[in-house]
Structures are given as C-alpha cells and as structure tokens.
Amino acid sequence: MARSEMENFAIRQKTEEMIALGYPTEQAQAIAFRMYRDGELTIPKIKLDKKTQQTKDKMRAARSANSILILYQLAKKLTK
C-alpha cells in the first residue's frame, strides 16, 4: 500500500531532524522509516477539499512528466 502525502512528509521531516542531529543521510532515513514502520511517527490528519487535492495531483503529475523529460534529454546528450 502506498504511503499518503502526510506520511511521506512526516518521514521527510524526521529524516531532516536526524541529519541536523549529525546522523549520516542513509542512517537518518533508516531511522525515520523504522519509526514509521513501528508507528512512532506522528502523522498529521489533514483532509484536503476535492479541488485542492486535484490541483496538487495535477502539479505532482506535471513535475513527474518534467522530470522524465529532463532525464530523457540528459540520456540523449550522454549517448552522443
């Protein structure tokens, strides 16, 4: 099952907190994901209205498409 946007936000926040405390990035990520798995992270319960959620979904799709285009262009340059 995919994580919600708020779950991802909580994991990202905990990772940044661990990095600020001096942990290496990979270890900070491991700590955050373990805390998520074990239910130790506080996940905010925010419900967006339908229009706002659709707008966020469209922006996410546009960013993904843009990332794919940039990767394609980079790969094309490297093969020349």
Of the candidates 15, 47, 12, the one whose C-alpha atom is nearest the C-alpha of residue 28 is 15
Q: What is the pTM of this model?
A: 0.57
Quick one: pLDDT at residue 31? 96
Q: Which of 36, 57, 40 is nearest to 48 (CA)?
A: 57
Per-residue pLDDT band at 48 (split at 50, 70, 90): low
CA distance 6 to 26: 21
Q: What is the pLDDT of residues 60-78, one digit of tens each?
A: 889 889 899 999 999 988 8
